[in-house]
């Protein structure tokens, strides 16, 4: 049964099945695949939807509670790609155009799109050296998640990441761990894999359902029958606070450049004049 992803118009549509088959359908429908940050925002948008259940149509009705359940209790593949280099480097490419170009004829190896060295070097994204992804393959605390390098890139906005993390922990505790203090919960782990052999592998980041602790998976196959993209209609992208188009897209490198610039001013500018910059940095 199709997921209930909208209360009214079909701004969001599920594309369930093999990613290689569903992505061309999504693009042909004039939509874009939802990003991890977009999904985080969408889950937050519907978190209180069950307070307003629509019952105007007795025969065919989609309650806001159904919409919330569909987003929270299901996993979703995203339009953000994770690319593995044989030497251990990992690159996160947000809103990947390469991923949007997959088809049933794409060359895959072990479920990943095969790229060349030139392809890898040409991708614009946040690159991590071998072993520099932070804590992986384990559940994380709220503090770990909010400071995690991968979640910071995927979330794009620190305030969004903070709000989403607190929401997921609160929902999980209420439903699955009532007797466990929030600070003892370990959720939202980051689960990457590695390149297979000498190939450069591209996959889609997947975010798990709430009961699965909403982890970020970087090992999903693009050719399995249970893939699930969310296609966003253009009008949803342009609406304030919706989709992923108005999520800030600064990178860790941008933050490092910001910190370096401010540090260079500390010797020549009075500390009180730098305080607004310090407050701004806390929000990033």
Q: What is the pLDDT of residues 187-196, one digit of tens each?
A: 999 999 988 8
Give pLDDT, residue 243: 42
Give pLDDT, residue 90: 97
Q: What is the mean pLDDT of residues 143-162?
A: 98
Least confident of 47-56, 70-79, 163-172, 270-279: 47-56
Give the residue with greater pLDDT, 247 vs 155. Answer: 155
Q: What is the mean pLDDT of residues 253-264?
A: 61
Q: What is the mean pLDDT of residues 241-245?
A: 43
Give pLDDT, residue 279: 59
Name every residue whose Cβ is closer than 8 Å to that of residue 125 and which is 6 or more positions away in sequence.
Answer: 81, 83, 91, 92, 93, 94, 96
Let me know: does 133 contact 92? Beta carbons within 8 Å.
no
Strands 126-128 and 90-93: antiparallel
CA–CA separation, 33 and 40 (whole Å): 14
What residues does each domain of the chain span? Answer: 12-249, 258-284
Q: Given pLDDT bands bounded at 50, 70 and 90, which one contains residue 269?
A: low
Give pLDDT, residue 144: 98
What's the whole-model pTM score? 0.79
Cα radius of gyration rounded to whole Å, the chain: 20
Give pLDDT, residue 258: 61
39-78 pLDDT, tens per residue? Answer: 999 999 998 654 333 333 333 345 678 889 999 999 999 9
Q: Given pLDDT bands bounded at 50, 70 and 90, which one contains residue 227?
A: very high
Give pLDDT, residue 235: 80
66-112 pLDDT, tens per residue? Answer: 889 999 999 999 999 999 999 999 999 999 999 999 999 999 999 99
Give pLDDT, residue 52: 36
Overall residue count recorded for the chain in this entry: 284
């Amino acid at each position: 049964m199709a997921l209930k992803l909208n209360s009214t118009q079909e701004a969001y549509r599920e594309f369930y099945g093999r990613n290689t088959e569903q992505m061309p359908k999504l693009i042909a429908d004039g939509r874009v695949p939802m990003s991890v940050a977009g999904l985080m925002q969408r889950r937050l948008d519907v978190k209180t939807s069950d307070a307003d259940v629509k019952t105007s149509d007795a025969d065919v009705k989609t309650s806001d509670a159904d919409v919330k359940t569909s987003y929270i209790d299901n996993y979703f593949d995203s339009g953000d790609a994770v690319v593995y280099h044989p030497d251990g480097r990992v690159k996160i490419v947000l809103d990947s155009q390469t991923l949007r170009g997959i088809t049933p004829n794409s060359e895959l190896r072990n479920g990943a799109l095969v790229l060349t060295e030139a392809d890898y070097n040409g991708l614009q994204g946040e690159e991590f050296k071998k072993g520099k992804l932070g804590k992986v393959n384990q559940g994380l605390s709220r503090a770990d998640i909010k400071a995690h390098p991968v979640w910071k890139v995927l979330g794009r906005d620190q305030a969004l990441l903070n709000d989403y993390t607190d929401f997921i922990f609160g929902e999980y505790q209420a439903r699955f761990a009532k007797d466990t203090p929030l600070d003892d919960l370990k959720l939202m782990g980051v689960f990457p894999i590695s390149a297979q052999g000498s190939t450069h592998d591209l996959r889609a980041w997947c975010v798990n359902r709430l009961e699965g602790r909403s982890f970020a998976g970087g090992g999903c196959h693009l050719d399995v029958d249970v893939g699930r993209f969310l296609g966003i209609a253009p009008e949803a992208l342009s609406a304030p606070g919706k989709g992923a188009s108005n999520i800030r897209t600064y990178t860790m490198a941008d933050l490092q450049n910001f910190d370096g610039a401010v540090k260079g001013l500390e010797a020549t500018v009075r500390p009180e004049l730098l305080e607004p910059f310090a407050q701004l940095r806390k929000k990033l």
